[in-house]
Amino acid sequence: MLDTMEAKDFAPLPNFVDLLLDAICIVDADGRFVFVSAACERIFGYTQSEMIGMTMIEMVAPEDRSRTLQAANKIMSGHPQLHFENRYIRKDGRVADIMWSARWSETDRLRIAVARDITELKRAESMQAALYSISEAAHAAENLLALYQRIHQIIGELLPALNFSVALYDEKDKQLSFPYHVDEYKPAPRDSAAVALCAEVIRTGQPLLLTDEMLTVLPEHLRTVVDTNSLCWLVVPLNSHNGVIGALVLKSYSKGVRYTEKDKELLQFVSTQIATAIERKRLYTRLQYTSQYDELTDLPNRRLLYDRLKTALARTQRKQGRMSLVYLDLDNFKQVNDAFGHTVGDQLLQEVAKRLKQCVREADTVARIGGDEFVVLLEDIQLPEHASVVAEKIRTDLSYPISIDGCNLHIQPSIGIALCPDHGDSAQQLLKHADEAMYFAKKHSDNRIQTNGGSSRSVDGANTESSLS
């Protein structure tokens, strides 16, 4: 019977302790290990004899040392700790997540603790949290750069990511770009090794884990470009329902950071969600751009002009300053389309847009509001005459021939000017006045830039009639 069996019938207690999957650790008042069970080798990578005498806090991940010492002080003051979590650096350099339960023996002046390895559990939790964070970032990020920065941060919470790049592949143009790149030694994004490895991953659709030991087995076309100073590369494809759209690149120069097969699996796991997030944000960015910019000329459209005009008006009124609208269209533009076709007409509009932007300051706005009509918003002008100077420059620059498909096109604008506060203090008033002034100038066709119905400024040598040659 069990209660009558002698103690000699059982194995010694230390033998049972070494069978436990959780580790038993005993630490003295100075924080040094005086006893560890056999499970420590599986969890920490050190043998029992190696751990005896080691200082506990030196094995703890630097980020967790402060709170670990706080917990140790609580235990030594008589407050047992249950389910305390921190991270340890294993002998092989990998990070292990540990859950501790510990108490202090005042009689023995020892801290007795049980350690459970929860690395896989924490990894699974982190992966799920990462998927949620990536999905959230796709909606919350202000733009693509902000999304890439957030992705970098999320991946950095899963594994070392000091050197990180996002590579995107344009299937139509067969071009590889690096819209996001962080590298402690190579700030230029297009380093030949990264380009070659990304191209290989995108071509095969398979991830690539590369250490310096593997260089000899690389294909010749990769071996000649891979940077031998980088001890470890991890490159995974960005797979979407449209195929491979690019790759994620991690690189380590440190001997203490070596990526593993598990790291590759983890990055692969989140890469699909990242690809979806990037495609969603790119689509949103395109839709947002097309809602605010003219597709043909890439100038702000009517909607964006109104937004900027309202903002400029508010600033002008707050500073009690001046601003102006220059409204113009191209005389007899229809003749260009009729004589040469709409393709030539589109190219003409693109060249006009380019010349208009060259006539104004960086802070000014040139918008195409429809057909051959353009509006220039001049904010913070000192004198009313400044708007007329800009209008004259526009007329002069547009008077030079525009060569398209071997044809020299000569075309002139009709221009109307509205001043704030002289001609109104609202967007509607200013646009209406500038539009009416422009049509007055067009109707009279008398070499003038019109500011209002009663006054105008002549432009020497200007020809308001369009000519095609």
How does pLDDT run across 326-371, given as a tens digit for each residue? Answer: 999 999 898 888 888 899 999 999 999 999 999 999 999 999 999 9
Q: What pLDDT is recorded for position 378? A: 94
- Percent pLDDT > 70 in the chain is 88
Is residue 297, in this structure, part of any structural domain at all?
A: no
Is residue 407, in this structure, part of any structural domain at all?
A: yes
* Model confidence, pTM: 0.64
Q: What pLDDT is recorded for position 448? A: 55
* pLDDT for 45 beyond 90: yes
Q: What pLDDT is recorded for position 444? A: 76
Residues 127 and 107 in one domain: no
Split at pLDDT 50, 70, 90, the class of 40 is very high
Q: What pLDDT is recorded for position 457? A: 34
Split at pLDDT 50, 70, 90, the class of 29 is very high
Residues 127 and 276 in one domain: yes
Q: What pLDDT is recorded for position 408? A: 86
Q: Which of 226, 259, 292 is at the close of a domain?
A: 292
Residues 224 and 349 in one domain: no
Q: What pLDDT is recorded for position 466? A: 29
Q: What pLDDT is recorded for position 447? A: 47
Q: Which of 101, 117, 133 is at the close of a domain?
A: 117
Mean pLDDT, residues 208-234 taken together:
73
Amino acid present at 24: I
Range in 208-212, 243-247, 343-347, 410-414 with the lowest mean pLDDT: 208-212
Q: What pLDDT is recorded for position 101? A: 95
Residues 105 and 133 in one domain: no
- 8-state DSSP, 80: -
Q: What pLDDT is recorded for position 230? A: 64
Q: Which long-range contacts (CB under 8 A, 24 or more apart) does 53-58 make?
A: 55/30, 55/31, 56/25, 56/27, 56/31, 56/32, 57/31
Could you tell me the CATH number of the domain that includes residue 173? 3.30.450.40
Under DSSP, is residue 171 helix (H, G, I), strand (E, B) or coil?
coil
Q: Which of 292, 327, 345 is at the close of a domain?
A: 292
Is residue 454, in this structure, part of any structural domain at all?
A: yes
Apex 144 CA angle, 143 and 147, nearest 5: 90
* pLDDT for 188 beyond 80: no
Residues 195 and 52 in one domain: no
Range in 318-322, 377-381, 394-398, 407-411 with the lowest mean pLDDT: 407-411
- Percent pLDDT > 90 in the chain is 57
Write out the residue range of the structural domain in which residue 410 sits. Answer: 302-468
Range in 34-43, 401-410, 424-433 with the lowest mean pLDDT: 401-410
Residues 148 and 109 in one domain: no
* pLDDT for 260 beyond 90: no
The answer to whether the CB of 273 falls within 8 A of the CB of 280 is no
Split at pLDDT 50, 70, 90, the class of 74 is very high
* pLDDT for 434 beyond 80: yes
Residues 66 and 88 in one domain: yes
**Separation between Cα atoms, residue 114 and residue 360, nearest integer Å:** 72
Could you tell me the CATH number of the domain that includes residue 312? 3.30.70.270
* pLDDT for 109 beyond 70: yes
The answer to whether the CB of 273 falls within 8 A of the CB of 340 is no
Split at pLDDT 50, 70, 90, the class of 274 is very high
Tens of pLDDT, residues 451-463: 664 443 333 333 3
Q: What pLDDT is recorded for position 5? A: 46
Q: Count the Cβ atoms, other than its own, within 10 Å of residue 173.
A: 8
Is residue 278, in this structure, part of any structural domain at all?
A: yes
Mean pLDDT, residues 220-246 taken together:
80
The answer to whether the CB of 383 falls within 8 A of the CB of 422 is no
Residues 68 and 16 in one domain: yes
Residues 138 and 113 in one domain: no
Largest Cα span, the chain = 123
